Amino acid sequence: MKTYAYGKQSISFGDIWEVVKVLRSPLLTQGPKVKEFEDALCAYTGAKYCVVVANGAAALHLAMLSLELYPGDQAITTPITFAATANSVLYAGGVVKFADVQTDTANIDPIEIVKNITDKTKVLVPVHFAGQSCDMQKIREIADKHNLFVVEDAAQAIGSEYNGHKVGSCKYSDLAIFSFHAVKTVTTGEGGSITTNNKNLYEKLLMLRTHGITRNVNYFTRDEGPWYCEQHVLGFNYRLTDFACALGISQLKRLEGFTKRRREIVEFYKNAFSDDERFGYLTEMPYSKACFHLFPLLINFKKIKSDKKEIFEKLKQKNIHVQVHHIPVYWHPYYQKLGFNHGDCPVAENYYRSAVSLPLYPGLMDADLRYIVDTVKQFC
């Protein structure tokens, strides 16, 4: 019997062959595929510069470092995200604030952003939850008014559009990050990227990715010879291998197809669960054309016979492995110790209680979707 996870990679023979070719070449890391993948991401998103890194969390970390957060500087993000978003602010020595989300999108609410702005605020970190872009024009307006940077956490949103612009274009932001983790829409196993239109940030990111060391003579204090390089900042080894980049290039060519199928699946689920007071789902806004990463079904637990744990157990017995995205970040004990409390963001908490992510990946056939829908309805 088939088993269904909430997400699953799609690896073609073409993808495999591209990786094999690099494995048989002289350079496994730092070869030509790195720049080729970066150029492909620029061409796809429309951003001027791209730096690929080891994973999405590393991308967020370097994004924050490049903006030079100083101790006490504040960043505002959403609680409905993976912990890495908020962690990256802490890595860089900043302070995190959580702004509540909108009911219909579960994305950060611009009104709540404004409420959280202080004279210490330096960065806004909107997260395009489930693949749907936040209202970036509004967020940019707020940022400009208060002189703030904007970093888009687009880990879930490669392939998506905002008002006709590809997410990652940085039209309304300073930096945008993607994740290429196996469960994300485009995968390199582990991997991530940062796009920007700012040359200065781009050059900082390049240096930070390899220990803070540069081989660019323009930065040198002196030049001792062809072996010479200089470390200028405290960076990391956050490089991505050449064979991972080869997989990324090949996957990126398949992204339009992934987007089409993911949108079809979401349509299927929406039709199947509409007009039923037990169920709801997030709304796609007029400014958005999402390559959906997740389909969170919103279950009205007051109207059904089971609770969330029972539904998880019963679906598991039918080989359907659902998940919940996300536990409000500040509910984690680590964040509770920093002083956050249950009840801080009530809209996010209500969303969390009702949400169950159903399987969503391009390999699902209509027959699979029918089975999943029928089984979910049977247990609710």
Ligand X SMILES: *Cc1c(COP(=O)(O)O)cnc(C)c1O
The answer to the question of residue 185 lying near ligand X (CB under 6 A) is no
Nearer to ligand X, 132 or 214 (CB): 132
**CA-closest candidate to residue 322, choices 373, 358, 365:** 358
| DSSP helix/strand/coil, 21 | helix
Nearest Cα to Cα of residue 141 among 114, 163, 115, 121: 114
Task: Provide, rounded to whole angstroms, the least separation between the CB of residue 199 and ligand X.
Answer: 25
Stretch that binds ligand X, among 63-71, 81-89, 209-217, 274-282 (CB under 6 A): 81-89
Q: Which range of residues in 151-159, 163-171, 256-264, 316-324 is near ligand X by CB under 6 A?
A: 151-159
Kindly state whether residue 82 participates in binding ligand X, applying the rule CB under 6 A: yes
The bridge status of strand 121-125 relative to strand 149-153 is parallel
Q: Rule CB under 6 A: is residue 132 a binding residue for ligand X?
A: no
Determine, following the binding rule CB under 6 A, whether residue 181 of this chain makes contact with ligand X.
Answer: yes
Site residues for ligand X, 193-222, by CB under 6 A, read none
Q: Which of 77, 85, 195, 250 is in the footprint of ligand X by CB under 6 A?
A: 85
Nearest to 39 by CA among 25, 30, 31, 49: 49
User: Least CB distance from residue 83 to ligand X, whole Å?
Assistant: 8
Phi, psi of 28 (to 5 degrees): -85, -25
Nearest to 78 by CA among 327, 337, 341: 327
Q: CA angle, 206 as apex, 202 and 209 as ends, to 5°?
A: 135
Answer for which of 55, 77, 121, 187 binds ligand X (CB under 6 A) is 55
Does the footprint of ligand X cover residue 179 (CB under 6 A)? yes
Taking the complex as a whole, the smallest distance from the CB of residue 174 to ligand X amounts, in Å, to 17
Q: With binding defined as CB under 6 A, does residue 105 bind ligand X?
A: no
126 lies in the site for ligand X, by CB under 6 A? no
Taking CB under 6 A as the criterion, the residue among 50, 155, 329, 345 binding ligand X is 155
81 binds ligand X per the rule CB under 6 A: yes
Q: What type of residue is 341?
A: N
Site membership for ligand X, residue 84 (CB under 6 A): yes
> Should residue 152 be labelled a site residue for ligand X when binding is judged by CB under 6 A?
no
3-class state of residue 84 by DSSP: helix
Residue 74 touching ligand X (CB under 6 A): no
Q: Which of residues 230-269 bind ligand X (CB under 6 A)?
A: none
Tell me the residue nearest to ligand X as measured from the CB.
56
Compute the distance between CA of residue 322 and CA of residue 239 in angstroms, rounded to an integer.
32
Shortest distance in whole angstroms from residue 228 CB to ligand X? 34
Q: How big is the CA angle at 77 (ends 238 and 282), to the nearest 5 degrees? A: 110
- In whole angstroms, give the CA distance from residue 277 to residue 328: 25
127 makes contact with ligand X (CB under 6 A): yes
Backbone angles phi, psi at 74, to 5 degrees: -105, 145
Site for ligand X in 277-316 (CB under 6 A): none
Regarding 125 and contact with ligand X (CB under 6 A), the answer is no
Q: Quick one: DSSP state of residue 133?
A: P
Nearest distance, CB of residue 183 and ligand X, angstroms:
7
Q: Which of 341, 301, 243 is nearest to 21 (CA)?
A: 243
Which CB sits closer to ligand X, 55 or 251?
A: 55
In angstroms, the Cα distances linking 10 to 108, 197, 247 are 30, 31, 11
**Do 56 and 180 touch, CB atoms closer than 8 A?**
yes
- Residues lying near ligand X in the complex (CB under 6 A) are found at 55-57, 81-82, 84-85, 127, 153, 155-156, 179, 181, 192
